[in-house]
Amino acid sequence: MSSAAQLEKKPVKRQKLKKRRTFSRTDRLTLGVFIGIPTFLHVALVWFPAMATIYLSFTYWTGIHIGDIQWAGFANYENIFFNTPIFWDALRVNVVWLVWFGVIATPLGILLAYQIDREIRGHKFYQSAYYLPVVLSLAVIGVIWNFLLRPDGLVNGLLGLEISEAVSFFGDDRYNIWVILTMASWRHIGYIMLLYLAGLKAVDATLREAASIDGATEWQTFKKVVFPAMKPVNIIVIVITIIESLRAFDLIYIIYGSSGGLPILGVLVFQNIAGEGASMKGAAYAVILFLLSIVPIVSYLRQQFKEDVS
């Protein structure tokens, strides 16, 4: 930046400061209230519980009397890492979930968005059909699919199978995870499609035109022109994919309850902290889940923004 530009900037800044000083008492009060209340709520409802959870994960507590909290050091974490096989099962399921979403569901959503953007025949129908599940919460999706796939559900009924012979969609370890992932993808694909479609609509049409005049194939245009132009949307899609896979809870909870039928980290948090068996092992699970989600996202975003700056 040249020094002339710096000089130029100074008076503008001073003017701004002057302007701020002219705020009346009411203005300040209004601003204080409008900023203060949300800040207070944010701190009280987000930061305080988060910090309290981190603290509690280092304690023994039944969740009832504050006075009963006992310092436990790393005991809860040690217990989880070294004594609790279900933690590793759950971690495996979460990782499979993440890989599935990252490699299959999200790219499928992008592909769909791209096809719909090209206005292939019947695109309006596909758009509504794939978007429909997005308006349902995962809990409702769980209820619907549970109704279809449980032993006395519709699918087994149509197959003419008695309860005892029913295909064990949710119980058989060989494929229950894929059944669940299909259910979750049903919604996730539509969600990604919608986000990406919005992004595609915003890509300047002249870019593509220029690419096709230069003789680029469809795939080359997407890879070299459209995809890079969509960077902000790509970041959102990646972050959403990570968060959705790690925070998965409602779908599993609807189908399996808080039992370990198909263990995932979200359910382990709930199982250990809710109910009669409250122990701060649940808080430790929550912290582990938090770190798992936040570390890749923060490092990814930092890298992206660094690239932007340079």
Partner 1 sequence: MLNKISGHQVDRRLLLKGAAAGGLGIAGATLLSGCAPGASGPMTFGARTVDESPTVQLQGLVAAYTAKTGNEVAYNATESNAFQNNLSQYLQGTPDDCFQWMAGYRMQFFADQGLLEDISDVWDDIGDQYSESYKIASTGLDGKQYFVPQGWYPWGLHFRKSMMAEIGMKPEDIYNWDDFMGALAELKGQGLIGLASADKGGWEAMGTFDILNARINGYQFHVDLLGGREKWTDDRVKEVFRHWEMMLPYQNTNVLDLEWDGAMQLLLQRQAGFFMNGSWFGGNFLEQSQEDYDDLMIVPFPEINPDHGRDTVDAPVDGFCVAKNGGNPDGGKDFIKFAGDMEGVQAMLDTGIPLTSANNGQDKSSYDAFQNAQQAVMDEAKYITQFLDRDTRPDFAGPIVGPAFQSWFKDPSSTDSILESLQSQWDALAPL
- Site residues, partner 1 (CB under 8 A): 60-65, 70, 72, 75, 78-79, 82-86, 89, 125, 128-129, 132, 135-136, 140, 150-152, 162-164, 166, 168-173, 256-261, 263, 268, 270-272, 274-281
Report the residue number, 171 or 228, with the smaller CB distance to partner 1. 171
Cβ proximity to partner 1, 165 vs 209, nearer residue: 165
Q: Minimal distance in Å, beta carbon 112 to partner 1?
A: 17
Q: In the bound complex, what is the minimum distance in angstroms from residue 253's beta carbon to partner 1?
A: 10
Q: How many CB atoms lie within 10 A of CB 108?
A: 17
- 231-246 vs 176-202: helix axis angle to the nearest 10? 160
Retrieve residue 88's tokens. 């590793």
CB closer to partner 1, 112 vs 226: 112
Identify which of residues 141 and 233 has a Cβ nearer to partner 1 in the complex. Answer: 141
CB of 122 to partner 1, least distance (A): 12
Q: Which is nearer to partner 1, 250 or 297 (CB)?
A: 250
Q: Closer CB to partner 1, residue 120 or residue 243?
A: 120
Look-up: residue for tokens 């519709």? 154
Q: How far is 210 from 225, CA to CA, in rounded Å?
A: 10
DSSP letter, residue 262: S
Is the separation of the CB atoms in 170 and 176 below 8 Å? yes
Minimum CB separation from partner 1 for residue 77, in Å? 11
CB 109 within 8 A of CB 192: yes
Rounded to a whole number of angstroms, the minimum distance from the CB of residue 207 to partner 1 is 34
Question: What contacts 24+ positions apart, CB below 8 Å, involve 256-262?
Answer: 256/170, 260/86, 260/89, 261/170, 261/171, 261/176, 262/93, 262/170, 262/176, 262/177, 262/180
Smallest gap from residue 151 Cβ to partner 1 (A)? 5
Report yes or no: 156 and 148 within 8 Å, Cβ to Cβ.
Answer: no
Residue 284: exposure state from Cβ atoms within 10 A (0-12, 13-18, ≥19): buried
Q: Minimum distance between the CB of residue 144 and partner 1, rounded to whole angstroms?
A: 9
Q: For 122, phi and psi rounded to 5 degrees?
A: 75, 20
**Cβ of residue 110: shortest distance to partner 1, in angstroms?**
23
Q: What are the helix (H) ranges across the chain? A: 3-21, 25-42, 48-56, 75-78, 85-100, 106-117, 123-131, 138-149, 154-158, 176-202, 205-213, 218-220, 227-229, 231-246, 250-256, 265-273, 281-309
Please say which residue, 110 or 166, places its beta carbon nearer to partner 1. 166
Decide whether 38 or 275 has the Cβ nearer to partner 1. Answer: 275
